[in-house]
Structure 1
Amino acid sequence: MSTSPKHAHSSSSNNKEERPRFFDPKVKNLCWAKADVVPGRHPDRWRKDAAGNVVCKRFCNCHGCLCFEYDHIIPYSKGGESTVENCQILQTRVNRFKSDKDWVEKTELQGFSCDLKFADKELDIIEMAVYGDVIRPDPVASKAESGYFGMTIGLILHSWMEAFLDKVAVMFHCLGS
């Protein structure tokens, strides 16, 4: 039985069975798992949405370029159920465009995607800041991150992070003046 909040099909009909309005945690996990994997990134942390945008699992229900929401492919308002088959992840701004439309073409969704694209180094910095480490899914990269090479990568990431934080500090200092 779903633990999702319930919402009746029609407020005027008490004899109709209620259906969940939101995706429950199990459906969300399955929905995330069925999304395309980002090559070279850990699948528990990074996925591609239905428009091909890279999104981060920690950035659910926010408004940045790496943020996403769980979307009803067939909108709830048009009878769509809160099931894994009717669930997809969408970058937040794309989901806001899609709204209650159903069967929107991928190219149309891409047209409303955030224009920013992140390089691998930038995603590494973001992952380090959000999770405290960078995990690679493939064994070759995992080997490279341990031992001497891993120490070198760690030092490089640390220096990138320091430079990034210095730039952010300067930006906020300028804004505060």
Structure 2
Amino acid sequence: MKRIYILFVFAFICMGIFSQANYDAFIGTWVYQNNDTVFKIKLQKGTMKGYLRNHNVIFGGYSLSVKGVVKESYIKTMPATWDADVSAPSCNIYIRASSDTPNYLGFTFYDQRKQHLNGKGIVGGTMDLLSSNKLHWKLNEKKGLWYALEGDYPEDMLPSPEEWVPRGFSVPTDVIMTKE
């Protein structure tokens, strides 16, 4: 019985070590280009200071150019540590991602033109690492609104009914990006 117990402990330790996200693989600048549209994201490691504990996360920014004209420019200097009580965009954080799964990140996107959920950002984004230099970026607005609607919003912070209507995104929603 003691051997079985030791075997289980060893197996759980190994699963914990090998099931963590590989944040280093996501760090850097990623680009999607289609004809005259160029979409970029820049990702870095950071720490989010929360109510009960700190979390290692990924922070990011984004930019979008169409026909050589910059439409969105939110790649700025980001802090290494962010206090979650402060608005992410006021700290130059427009993408906040985390995961416990290798090669995958779930993220909140702070679309500065569309301002989902009163500017609080919308969850439902995913990034899948396809290879060391290929990333699948995907935003799902319906999923993000569902998470917010079904979530634990305090009554005094509940977004107004017009916030629940899908409005789209100002950036591409389902693209393969290449690491620069």
TM norm structure 1 = 0.28
TM norm structure 2 = 0.27
Query: Which of 1 and 2 has higher RCO (CA within 8 Å, sep 6+)?
Result: 2
> Which has the larger Rg?
1
